[in-house]
Amino acid sequence: MEYLPALWKPKAPRRGLWQGRVDIGKPNIEEVKIMKAARLYPGESKLRIDEVEKPKLEKGYAIIKVRAAGVCATETHFVEGLIPVGNPLVLGHEIAGDIEQIDPNAKTDLKLCDRVAVYNMMSCGSCFNCRNDMENMCTQAAGQLGFNADGGFQEYVAVPIRSLVSLPQNVSYEEGAVHACSGMTAVHSTRLAGTKLGDLVGVHGVGGVGLMCIQVAKICGAKVIAIADSEEKAALAKEVGADEAIVCIDYSILVEQINKATNGAGLDVIYDLVGSTVGWNAMIDSVACRGRLVIIGYRKEDLLNFHPVGLLLKEGQILTSVAGCKRDLELSLRYANEGRISTIVADRIPLEKVNEAIQLIIDRKVKGRSVIVS
């Protein structure tokens, strides 16, 4: 299989294969009872392809026919044991598909056959955090799809209706799936960082989220310098709009490279997707006066370990950002629909090869985002 990057530009709205052939309210649903699911078992490092029962429709839920599910760096945290699973769990938290069944008594504008992206936090909508724009940290969540509830690496997934977002017309399933994590995360971290017109922005790590951060920062009017670990990824960063791209092979000279690129000013906002101790230290040394380092990525072994005085003398800040709110996903999809954000789908991979897709991330070989398709 070739793993070539491809800039995914849909030419026409993409529809479910059987959309238009089903009477709304009288679905001609093929009676599927057993389906394939890629599950991680406790203590194991490879997902098993199991035959499992198709989820049943419950009150307030919809059953989504999964069309695309993104493969995220978070998957590596599961298979490496950083995020343990208690029971066999279907991974995949970046999901887009068609509504195949929906609670007929639910109050919603969504209907059968609608194309949707999934907000993976099954938030309650009523706790303090949900009421205060922090639903990514809902304290009463029913779960998080692909984290502790069965996710999208299966043929059908049960999703609370309140977690569904309509896919806009110009956004493909693959794009929608990627926005359900990477795009949403980029919008959310940009809101937290307050990235604004004229800022000098660094994006450390040119993977799925990094490519989105570059584009969202450009929408804010920033000048963006990407920091990549290969010439190929630096080229990808420029392809999506980075003004400059530094190839970092040796962290001992990175601060010098950034200083040169910013005429000694440093970076007003840095998005860190890599999550390594050496990288964080280089980023802290590269923050401008009153600049912000936003930590998004992390790794199993790496700790944040630095003396604060250098940062203190610059009044620099360290922020963290986790996933996003539903409205971040909606905005991210709107930008995609308007053609302001491109999604680089590195490869479309069948469910059976999900372990290969995860290994490619571990080997840092993915140029963009791999997507499981069916």
- Interacting residues toward Zn ion by CB under 5 A: 72, 74, 123-124, 127, 130, 138, 140, 181
Kindly state the smallest distance separating residue 280's Cβ from Zn ion, in Å: 21
The C-alpha atoms of residue 213 and residue 185 are separated, in whole angstroms, by 8
DSSP state of 274: S
CB of 185 to Zn ion, least distance (A): 7
Other CB atoms within a 10 A radius of the CB of residue 180 amount to: 34
* CA nearest to 109, candidates 142, 62, 170, 65: 62
Q: How far is the CB of 95 from Zn ion (least distance, A)?
A: 10
Nearer to Zn ion, 172 or 286 (CB): 172
* CB nearer Zn ion, residue 69 or residue 248: 69
The smaller minimum CB distance to Zn ion, of residues 101 and 185, is found at: 185
Q: Which amino acid is at 230?
A: S
Report the half-sphere exposure of 279 (CA within 13 A, side-chain side). Answer: 24
b/e map 271-291, b = 16+ CB within 10 Å: bbbbbbeebbbbbbbbbbeeb
Closer to Zn ion by Cβ: residue 130 or 225: 130
Q: Name the packing angle between helices 231-239 and 208-219 (round to 10°).
A: 40
Q: In angstroms, what is the minimal distance from the CB of 342 to Zn ion?
A: 18
> Minimum CB separation from Zn ion for residue 232, in Å?
22
CA distance 337 to 212: 14
The upper half-sphere exposure of residue 209, i.e. CA atoms within 13 Å in the direction of its Cβ, equals: 32
Nearer to Zn ion, 138 or 269 (CB): 138
The smaller minimum CB distance to Zn ion, of residues 96 and 112, is found at: 96
Q: Residue 87 or residue 140: which is nearer to Zn ion going by CB?
A: 140
- In angstroms, give the least distance from the CB of 114 to Zn ion: 23
* Cβ 192 to Zn ion shortest distance, Å: 17
For residues 243 and 180, is the Cβ–Cβ distance under 8 A?
no
State how far Cα 71 lies from the chain centre.
Answer: 9
Smallest distance from Zn ion to CB 72, Å = 3
Residue type, 300: K
Question: Is 347 in a helix, a strand, or coil?
Answer: strand
Q: Which is nearer to Zn ion, 140 or 169 (CB)?
A: 140
Residue 286: phi and psi, rounded to 5, are -100, -5
How far is residue 41's CA from residue 271's CA, in Å, rounded to a whole number? Answer: 33
